[in-house]
Structure 1
């Protein structure tokens, strides 16, 4: 049975004056995937994700979400998408609850019960009446994730979602992602430079290096041939004639 294609990335190219960017990226993401976009800092992960969410226009190519073009039909393309790109932003002088109430202003179906539910799911319900100005980076990430899943999105795009989390937080968020994918059919597109966490979280992995996609493979198949995802990453980089400069 063929899985439904929910994201199509076609010939995506964006070049910056400093020489960085992405070059001719092609990628299909399917319903229920937990896709890991793996690469070192500066590889082009955030650039690609900014284009995917309409924050940056590509020089060439397009992204289609549920068949709608992000460049030509932005509102339709993003209607079922939740995301965090780079930093989970919040209003520092509003409470956690008030921040999510603001995030829900275009989603009439989101009520107090749903807000409390996502705060519970992300492990910060006890801070519902506290202000993010006092939050640690990890707690701000949890609040950002609560906002990203607030309106029951079908696709969640997360740029370095485990940034700033302690070990317990990483496990909590990993379990939440897996649960939503399995039980609700939510599709996740996750970027990270943390190889071990990608290995434990994602079922398909795309390696990006110097702005180019090197390979896309299932985690299961990778671990049949390599002891760890790190070994696979280094092998892919070397096989493509580049010297790895990688810090986990």
Structure 2
């Protein structure tokens, strides 16, 4: 299997004692990797380091063989991402927002903009100004922006936040389709256990800034009734929380 993302001994701590400690992960081509953990577990910190928004105290991240710290432009050249909140120019339409982003990518034309708007269920709103959008619509537009350039790697921090049930299903189908048809690799963080179970083929549990285990979703569900049961078992086995913490 082709290794696409390597997280090597990654450490970043804050004054309140939170952070991440000696994270090591390998993500492979075509993976939909679910980074599962509660709020405050360290998911966003890790993903901000992965996308160059903050620097670690120790360790490195390599994307497609390039260090995010030493070769940032090369590492991020084929990466799409959405970290935390999906931002937009409120007085521009959905189409116009994506047109601004498309200026950075010579191979992205207006046809591609329409394609990603269709993929994310936003085509019918393409001419509406984003100031009128709901949280879920803004999230869909942010996801359209993340896949606009046909990236080989997509990093998404809580991508289903703000989406209704229909939106969750649409985005899940989009992610699974891109992974299957184009071998796009997804790294997705979430605290929504059920959605991770339905979306991801591999799962890493993070708790208190440390990776507890990484396993294939199919293997987990052969041994546990649900991903929630697996999560509780992992944190209990590692002496982290009681069974009521899920």
TM-score (normalizing by structure 1):
0.97
121, 129, 138: which one aligns with 2:136: 138
| CA deviation profile, 1:153-185 (whole Å, cap 9, x unmatched) | 000000000000000100000000000000000
Q: Which of 10, 13, 18 is matched with 1:12 structurally?
A: 10
For 1:219-234, list aligned pairs within 5 A: 219-234=217-232
Pick from 177, 181, 184 the counterpart of residue 182 of structure 2: 184
- Of residues 39, 47, 51, the one that matches 1:53 is 51
Counterpart mapping for 1:7-156 below 5 A: 7-156=5-154
Distance between the aligned counterparts of 2:192 and 2:140, measured in 1?
18
Q: How many residues align?
A: 245
CA distance in 1, matches of 2:65, 2:6: 8
Query: Structure 1: which 5+ runs fail to align?
Result: none
Deviation (angstroms), 1:246? 3.9
Q: Which SS does the other structure have where 2:22 is aligned?
A: strand
* 1:212 equivalent in structure 2: 210
- For residues 20 and 91 of structure 1, the distance between their equivalents in structure 2, rounded to whole angstroms, comes to 33
Instruction: Extract unaligned runs of 5+ from structure 2.
Output: none
Measure, in 2, the Cα distance between the counterparts of 1:208 and 1:198: 13
Between the aligned partners of 2:231 and 2:241, the Cα distance in structure 1 is: 12
**Is 2:238 aligned against 1:240?**
yes
Matched, 1:159 2:157: yes
TM-score by length of 2: 0.98
Contact 1:38 1:195 in 2 (8 A): yes
Q: State how far apart, in whole Å, the 2-side matches of 1:61 and 1:128 are.
A: 42
SS, match of residue 137 in structure 2: helix
SS at match of 2:30: coil
